[in-house]
Amino acid sequence: MIPADHPQIPERKTGLLLVNLGTPASLELSDIRRYLAEFLSDRRVIDYPAWFWQPILRGIILNVRPKKTRAAYEAIWHEETNESPLRYYTRQQAELLAERLQDLAGLEVDWAMNYGEPAISERLNALLDKGCRQLLVLPLYPQYSATTTASVFDRLAKAMASLAWQPAIRTLDTWHDDPAYIDNTVDHLQQALASLSFKPDTLLLSFHGLPERYLQQGDPYHCFCQKSGRLIGEGLKARGFNQLDVKVTFQSRFGPEKWLEPYTDVTLEQLPAEGKKSVAVFSPGFVADCVETLEELGIQGHESFAAAGGENYATLPCLNDSKPAIDMLETLVRRELKGWSSAKD
């Protein structure tokens, strides 16, 4: 018999936690500085020794970059809900996915950010409080990298380290070539390209970059991006886009190191001279629009392309809360949950 004063044990449930990169809580410089400090202090992201990097970060970057970062976020801020697009669309994905998965009894769906709020530790504890003893963690990065997916796993492990009763954990490390990802991305692109007022001769598939030495150290990200790009290109050609020149490029580099090439910004400046004056840009590595897609590509990229003589330019939206996005996530989640009590085999 359970003693009367024994803590109540919730009904056993399964939890699903979607995790995206992160975002400042607001446009206040203090929130932006806090976000940048957390992000750029992650040794998975910047692997320089702390004695070398932290004085640069604290003494220079955090005093200079927040104003530039705020200007970029101001250009794309989601005014209706007073948050970044990344936060808005990640929440939308979780809510829409929960609706799709209502037939899975005892499933709790939540979302978190690796940097900023809501934190992984916060949402993990919330799921545990609801009785989730089984947890599927899905980092929203199709292409595995130590700088993104592994960082999520690090934070998850840290959050679990102090738990007396740890849940069973499943994770999905990479889905860069999964048919659910490729086919739904091609579906999305087919619709987006058809909606344009011009016919692009070139489609840039722009992935976030990494220092090239990360590849040399064994990070498979570059190879995964190339395979995703090839499969997406093949999928588009199978849908009739035979004349579309599909190129894989890498964006968002900073610092003096050599990063993965070809660079998106340099490519945009070169295309008009090659006779490619109608360009569309899509970011397969982001499942939700963010400052890198909306401001860096949508504004800066357009300006660079036009200044170089380009005529027609469009950034295609990320999967966001579209039907292909939720179809993709539903397929991945149902497969990964099989065998657990709330999933149907």
State the amino acid at position 76 in one-letter form.
Answer: I
Supply the DSSP symbol for 314: E
In this structure, are residues 219 and 149 in contact, taking their beta carbons and an 8 Å threshold? no
Cα separation, 204 vs 267, whole angstroms? 9
DSSP string, 236-254: HHHTT-TT-EEEEEEE---
- Residue 344: pLDDT above 60? no
287-309: average pLDDT:
98
Which domains does the chain carry? 13-175+324-337 (3.40.50.1400), 179-315 (3.40.50.1400)
pLDDT for res 67 = 96
- Residue 319's SS3 state is coil
Cα separation, 249 vs 266, whole angstroms? 9
Cα separation, 89 vs 222, whole angstroms? 26
Least confident piece of the model among 2-11, 131-140, 232-241, 332-341:
2-11
Instruction: State the CB neighbour count (10 A cutoff) for residue 157.
Output: 10
pLDDT for res 325 = 98
pLDDT for res 289 = 98
In this structure, are residues 144 and 220 in contact, taking their beta carbons and an 8 Å threshold? yes
Q: Strand pairing partners for 132?
A: 13
pLDDT for res 297 = 98
Cα separation, 215 vs 219, whole angstroms? 5
pLDDT, tens digit, 9 for 90 and up, residues 92-120? 999 999 999 999 999 999 999 999 999 99
Which element (helix H / strand E) includes 137? strand 132-139
pLDDT for res 84 = 97
pLDDT for res 343 = 47
pLDDT for res 341 = 58
pLDDT, tens digit, 9 for 90 and up, residues 27-64? 999 999 999 999 999 999 999 999 999 999 999 999 99
* Closest to 321 measured CA to CA, from 287, 295, 294, 286: 287
Q: Strand pairing partners for 111?
A: 18
146-175: average pLDDT:
96
Instruction: State the CB neighbour count (10 A cutoff) for residue 210.
Output: 23
pLDDT, tens digit, 9 for 90 and up, residues 229-269? 999 999 999 999 999 999 999 999 988 899 999 999 999 99
Those residues whose C-beta lies under 8 Å from the C-beta of residue 110, and which sit 6 or more positions away, are 15, 16, 17, 18, 94, 123, 126, 127
Report the mean per-residue pLDDT for the chain: 95
Q: Strand pairing partners for 315?
A: 281
* Closest to 286 measured CA to CA, from 15, 76, 13, 11: 76
pLDDT for res 345 = 42
pLDDT, tens digit, 9 for 90 and up, residues 7-24? 666 678 999 999 999 999
pLDDT for res 11 = 78
In this structure, are residues 143 and 285 in contact, taking their beta carbons and an 8 Å threshold? yes
DSSP string, 260-294: SSSBHHHHHHHGGGGT--EEEEE-TT-SS--HIII
Cα separation, 221 vs 225, whole angstroms? 6
pLDDT for res 2 = 57
Residue 20 CA from chain centroid, whole number: 5
